[in-house]
Chains A and B, each alone.
Chain A
Amino acid sequence: MTQESSASLSDIAAQAGAWLDGNWDPELGLVEWRNKLVDSGWGMPEWPAQWYGRDFGAAEVRTVEQEFARRGVVGVARAGIRLLAAATLLEHGSEEQKQQFLRRILTGEDTWCQLFSEPGSGSDLAGSTTRAERDGDHWSVNGQKVWTTSAQHAHWGLLVARTDWEVPKHKGLSYFIIDMKQNGIDVQPLKQMNGHASFNQVFLTNALVRSEHLVGAVGDGWKVAMTTLSHERRRADGVRSGYADIGLQVEKSGRIFDEERDELATVMEPYSWYPQRAGRVDLAAPRAIESGRIEEPAVRQELARLLTMSASAEWTARRARAAQRLGKAQGPEGSLGKLAASHVARQASRVHTLIAGSDALFAGPQSVEDGIIAEILLSTPAVSIAGGTDEIQRNIIAERVLGMPKEARVDGGPFRDVPRNPTN
């Protein structure tokens, strides 16, 4: 790092620190405080200066985050998919849309959900059959969406729907913001094989979208959706390291923390099983040792396999981040994390079964580790499906990283003629 840039970073730290010292008060209301953050530009400094930010790069942003963490200060709302919505609007939204939505995204007043997947189009997102038709100064939407997190709380939905059936599939989609609190929308929980219902099915029956809530042009839906998804992927790969750790050391009492805890409890509730889904590698060796099962040769071998895989995957991710940080050309290591996570989760499930022995027959709070082990065994299958199946990941690696030929397409003509799943 050069002298010059570290000097300017310390200036930024001093400025942010001075502003926080003058304004931060844990007895403020959550929304009241976040409005101050939004007006000051310190709440989301990586955003454009024109829209509540400061045009900061990654190093500057980290510096600001450290000032927040050092003081245990509550930041703008980040949970859920709100920042994917914001990133999409910043890139493709109209001035009016940015004016209407961005501030309330950051204050946490509005909650968002993502209406992309459908029962008939999972991996093949562009095969969406939910239709949007012009109806005077509105769009009228009919169809069904699925795997929608927080749809029951959301005020707004990011919607991909088909507006033209006569053109190839990717060209006939449009992207909308839809008001979730209306009669044409019916939200039903979707119960999963592990008993949780973290997602919803969303039925749209003559649901209305205001014409000014079309994002981009008619027919741009695929392009706009790619922006949303690229931010989702970036968020899945990235880490906001160090932030939470430092903050934990600060005593958090005051009205604002109570409000923040309530907010987080609601938003995070669907994700309570996610650590178990990833396999809880952290529990494997301690449980093998505590239970004495570590003496079993098969347990030792499979545990060591798991630890090898999990550590190597973590180091591979760190190689990718180091290359990114140094601005070096991305090697293949950057595309492998998702596939590696599936292997780790499956192996973790195998090891937890070996360690548990006949205890693996039981589930629920009376079973081992308060049911955590059973939850691991029934949740890991989701890793190789959610966010892009292993099969799609392997295609992406082969085609984009290894330069192997793309699959021949049979779905290139007008979408009306493309074979698809029956809809009811």
Chain B
Amino acid sequence: MQFHFSDEQEQFRMMVRRFFERQCPTSATRKLMDDELGYEPAVWRRMSSELGLAGVALPEQFGGGAFGAVEEAIVAEECGRSLAASPLFASSVLAARCIHKVASSADCERLLPALARGDRTAALALSEPNAEPSLSGITCTLTVDQDARLSGRKHAVIDGANADVIVVVARLAGSTGDAGITLVEVDPGATGVTVSVQQPLDPTRKLAAIEFRDVQARVLGEPGEAASGLRRALNQALIALSSEMVGGASRLFEDTLEYTKLRMQFGRTIASFQAIKHRMSELLLSVELAKSAAYFAAEACAADDPDLNYYASLAKAAASDAYMLAATEAVQLHGGIGFTWDADVHLWFKRAKSSEVLLGDASWHRERMILNLPAEVSARRAGQAE
């Protein structure tokens, strides 16, 4: 573990940050909130071709940019900071990586290069209504005879209404638990697929419900064998999401700090009140601790740490709580203006709320930590430790 970024990584961060500052100001984000597609295709093309970000989660072999887990975390953090709208999370971080970790190399060859170039986008249909965000809770059913047929309902599929290809997490008929989990590819235009746009609480993340009625599907990888590959992919997505969240939390913190130094009441800036100073110090602590957890998880991922389930969940739990704290404090410390539509605070507030719930909330991940306690945490140490 390095516990710091290299000079090259810092330069990369600044390049990405400057790009987003120029291309994705909140005025643009606000326009895209009402847009069905939800992102600017021209900006996505530049993100893909100039910065290579669409291939962020993929190896060079499949057209990726040979970024490491730490670089991916940097990109995600800067996305969260700027609220840049793009298919990056849904298509590259979630769907493309799940394909990569599960599908045969022939299928990877067929699907991934176009995703890595940003020419096509994919969506991952994972979450189901009334189900916890674990693979064992999956009910969408696949029957495999001469061909594979998929039935079931998914919801909250990010960018699900606009993707060129949908990859669905399903289970073989009659299976339970991890056994039987299968990843399939579905053409959104296929017979039996009904895609309906869902109004999102966070208008910067487009969501769709998708119903499959005996739909022809193409199995990626071995039928029933996808669980461990998906878990690896989802751990990495969790870490990227946590990084995105600490980026957003940092931005909220900085904007709020600046506002308290400008806002005058009772003849002084509100930053001069101890009640405000103490809250800002506590908020800084929460945000910095969550940042450290996200950074550590990214490094643990890069090092292929055997306890990644634990560290990914720790990062997501910390990021969920810190981001929501930053969001509620930001609204509160902005006062009345913070509750208005015109102020930008609510853009991040809504992103904090959707991120809090996405891929499992803080309580769910704390439970997952306990199910995956590393040996050095669960065993007594020799001698007395402080």
| Residue ranges of A at the interface with B (Cβ–Cβ < 8 Å) | 274-275, 278, 280, 282-283, 285-286, 289, 294, 297, 300-301, 303-305, 307-309, 311-313, 315-316, 318-319, 321-323, 326, 328, 332-333, 336, 339-340, 343, 391, 393-395, 397-399, 401-405, 407-408
In the complex, 20 of the A-B residue pairs with CB atoms within 8 angstroms, ordered by the A residue number, are: A280-B385, A282-B381, A286-B378, A289-B378, A301-B366, A304-B314, A304-B369, A308-B366, A316-B288, A316-B289, A319-B295, A332-B288, A336-B285, A340-B285, A395-B277, A402-B277, A405-B268, A405-B272, A407-B272, A408-B272
Distance in angstroms from A41 CB to nearest chain B CB is 32
A289 and B380 CA atoms in complex are apart in Å by: 11
Q: Chain A contacts of B66 at CB under 8 A? A: none
Distance in angstroms from A345 CB to nearest chain B CB is 11
A312 near B318 with CB under 8 A, answer: yes
Distance in angstroms from B12 CB to nearest chain A CB is 17
A315 near B292 with CB under 8 A, answer: yes
Secondary structure call for the B interface: helix
Q: Chain A contacts of B284 at CB under 8 A? A: 332, 336, 397, 401-402
A282 near B317 with CB under 8 A, answer: no
Determine which residue in A275, A285, A313, A340 has the highest number of CB atoms from chain B within 10 A of its CB, and name it: A285
Secondary structure call for the A interface: helix
Distance in angstroms from A406 CB to nearest chain B CB is 8
Q: Chain A contacts of B369 at CB under 8 A? A: 304, 307-308
Distance in angstroms from A38 CB to nearest chain B CB is 30
Q: Chain B contacts of A313 at CB under 8 A? A: 289, 292
**The one of B261, B292, B317 that contacts A404, using a Cβ cutoff of 8 Å:** B261
Q: Does B257 contact A (CB under 8 A)?
A: yes
**The one of A294, A297, A398 that contacts B277, using a Cβ cutoff of 8 Å:** A398
A336 near B288 with CB under 8 A, answer: yes
Chain B residue at minimal CB-CB distance from A315 = B292
**The one of A304, A321, A333, A394 that contacts B367, using a Cβ cutoff of 8 Å:** A304
Q: Does B281 contact A (CB under 8 A)?
A: yes
Q: Does B42 contact A (CB under 8 A)?
A: no
A3 and B282 CA atoms in complex are apart in Å by: 44
**The one of A322, A323, A391 that contacts B278, using a Cβ cutoff of 8 Å:** A391
A402 and B314 CA atoms in complex are apart in Å by: 27
A275 and B384 CA atoms in complex are apart in Å by: 8
Q: Does B110 contact A (CB under 8 A)?
A: no
Chain B residue at minimal CB-CB distance from A297 = B367
Q: Does B342 contact A (CB under 8 A)?
A: no
Q: Does B296 contact A (CB under 8 A)?
A: yes
B373 near A395 with CB under 8 A, answer: no
A312 near B280 with CB under 8 A, answer: no
Please name 14 further chain A to chain B contacts, defined as beta carbons within 8 Å, in addition to the given A333-B292, A398-B280, sorted by A numbering: A278-B386, A282-B381, A289-B378, A304-B317, A304-B370, A312-B296, A315-B292, A321-B3, A322-B4, A340-B285, A343-B285, A391-B278, A404-B257, A405-B268
